Homo-oligomer: A and B are copies of this chain.
């Protein structure tokens, strides 16, 4: 036995060697500036507190002013200038990171034509133009004019000049069209006027086109965005409300990622689909308009859309802080950079926070005071507004690396919608770390009430495990977290400050995607003093630090048990009888959920025991791998072949109202009206098996690793 021979007889030498290693790790002279990493390095609460104090509201304000000074539509020169700004900040010798690089993809974007502006006009039966909609928003603050303000348009809507009678189609949902048909209204060849809300942008065009409609207009209704107010003196710049001329721009593409390179990074050499064969684009010309114009449209309307597709270069910027102990574990923190116009709220409020956080951490790093246990990757994504393109291409390019090594993804897009409360979305394992962070930080202007205690007043639920807690939302596909959670199975979250819903029913902050979303708007109406920005910086920063620095990963995987249990109960209560009628048993699902709960509970106990004992660094690493990789076990790329990118069996899109496992819910709603033994019922069984296998597999990874 080699080690006995070599080492057994020379215990003294081994101890000396060991002592040397230990000394190397621990015996740093008091007051030294450059600590040598210890493999037992853990979260340092003093450093955390000092970081919290250094996150500065006025600097966030200055960041925002600089970021939103000019419109910076994806791939525009101003967007490129911001790439340079980020690189400069992240390479700063005094407050920069270890390294920063831009990486560029060649992606398919859609723009209105400069030469032929899109136009919406009311025409007489003889073809005379009786009225034309505005082609740009009113220049109320001097920032809505100029060549860099992209005119309102529906990105990816095809060009065309349809003309027809106007039909009001409410929100353009399937239900809305069924109602119109029931009223005997002829839709063929008409122009549909729809309002934002109720369904996705692209879905409005898709639903509409099915009924033979020739063109779609989409407007923002004051009832949906302005709590009903619409006059000039009630709206921006006199309040935060949307002016009559404001128009919400947006992408009307149904999927996400570069439309020409699904599942492939949009590198110049990558295979590209023929744009004519791309699915997910709106099928008919579509144009957004303001409510000022919407209210006077009538009769025959002509819509002229001259959008065109262009291959453009769009960059992500990545900034890295190398982990001291586990550099191969990445905590990612990102936000997009591109905006429709100035984008002060969307997305610069998030980027302003990002830059302040990276400044504080970079400064500690450059001083040698601190280096995280794990690596931190800051990301500024390109072309999010066109469909989460930069982040999606990134996940496609670094698929393997991220699947192996990413601990979690933190997204802070719009950091402040409003000043009332924290709002967080995420998968269950991140709940505990957000709670822990938010309990330690005071809420702005509330006399010391913590962010957590304020949060619970606005959003809460009764947890069977914890009692009353703030409620975490679930992640859809509204921002760059989507490819991380749905395509890669990385535990993700989105953090922001948001509304008091008793004070406004606005669908979203009113100037969203308009030329009125400017620095002045934020400074005056959204967050004067920037204390909510600071609160978000602190919360997200604390979450980031806890994930990057804690010896034991603060991902509480057993919190998934609550979700599984509630999905299971919803299935039993709402689908149980139906399934029984088709001889489909939920017993295997019940068993799988129980196994998950059992394995997660036992794991919790092993963690507690290990935390009390002297931790062996490999044991901790093995345990952390179980925690990190749990989310990955819920992925099945063959589960939903028709849903591009969606592979997570718990968070794929769900149609229908039962809040349960999406594959099961969707298959049931499709099978509902088919006969016994139909292929649709077989699909229900298949989805149930996919789910059971995923849950059993997840539970298996939580059991003691030596049991196989």
A residues contacting B by CB (< 8 A) are 1-5, 7-9, 11, 14-15, 17-19, 21-23, 25-32, 35, 38-39, 41-47, 99, 261, 263-265, 267, 269-271, 273-274, 318, 320, 322-323, 325-328, 330, 369-370, 375, 377, 396-401, 404-405, 585, 587-588, 614, 616-618, 621-622, 625-626, 629, 632-633, 637-638, 641, 682, 685-686, 688-690, 692-693, 696-698, 700-701, 704-708
Contacts and interface: CB of A to CB of B under 8 A. Distances in A.
> Which 10 pairs show the lowest CB-CB distances between chains A and B?
A18-B22, A328-B705, A327-B706, A269-B588, A271-B689, A400-B633, A2-B44, A14-B26, A271-B685, A322-B706
A646 to B, nearest CB: 13
Contacts of A44: 1-3
Contact of A269 (B7, B325, B689): B689
Nearest to A404: B629
B323 A706 contact: yes
A277 to B, nearest CB: 9
28 contacts: A1-B46, A2-B47, A3-B44, A4-B30, A4-B31, A8-B31, A15-B19, A15-B22, A17-B22, A18-B18, A18-B22, A18-B23, A39-B616, A269-B585, A270-B689, A271-B685, A271-B686, A274-B682, A318-B708, A320-B706, A323-B706, A375-B706, A400-B629, A400-B697, A401-B700, A401-B708, A404-B625, A637-B638
Given A3-B38, A14-B27, 15 more contacts: A2-B42, A3-B26, A4-B35, A8-B31, A15-B23, A267-B588, A269-B585, A325-B618, A328-B622, A377-B708, A398-B697, A401-B701, A404-B632, A404-B701, A617-B617
A15 B26 contact: yes
A98 to B, nearest CB: 8
A19 B22 contact: yes
Given A9-B30, A39-B616, A405 B271 contact: no
Contact of A698 (B46, B377, B400, B641): B400
A46 B6 CA distance: 12
Contacts of A688: 271
B614 A21 contact: yes
A692 B269 CA distance: 9
A705 to B, nearest CB: 3
Nearest to A1: B44
Contacts of A274: 682
A693 B270 contact: yes
A421 to B, nearest CB: 31
A692 B265 CA distance: 10
A690 B3 contact: no
Nearest to A23: B15
A377 to B, nearest CB: 6
B693 A396 contact: yes
A633 B621 CA distance: 22
Contacts of A271: 682, 685-686, 688-689
Contact of A28 (B4, B28, B626): B4
Contacts of A264: 689-690, 693
Copies in the complex: 2
Nearest to A10: B26
A606 B17 CA distance: 22
A369 B4 CA distance: 11
A638 B701 contact: no
A15 B21 CA distance: 9
A57 B614 CA distance: 46
A23 B8 CA distance: 11
Nearest to A398: B700
A39 B638 contact: no
A492 to B, nearest CB: 18
A361 to B, nearest CB: 15
A609 to B, nearest CB: 16
A268 B440 CA distance: 50
A35 B8 CA distance: 10
A169 B275 CA distance: 48
A373 to B, nearest CB: 10
Nearest to A617: B618
A377 B686 CA distance: 30
A27 B15 contact: yes
Contacts of A625: 328, 404
Contacts of A43: 2
A5 to B, nearest CB: 8
Query: Which of A99, A326, A585, A641 has the most C-beta atoms of chain B within 10 angstroms of its own C-beta?
Result: A326
Given A1-B369, A375-B708, A622-B326, A22 B30 contact: no
A687 to B, nearest CB: 8
Contacts of A622: 326-328
A274 B681 CA distance: 12
Contacts of A17: 22, 614
A45 B629 CA distance: 35
Contacts of A38: 3
Contacts of A626: 328
A26 B7 contact: yes
Contacts of A320: 706-708
A621 B29 CA distance: 29
Given A617-B617, A693-B270, A3 B41 contact: yes
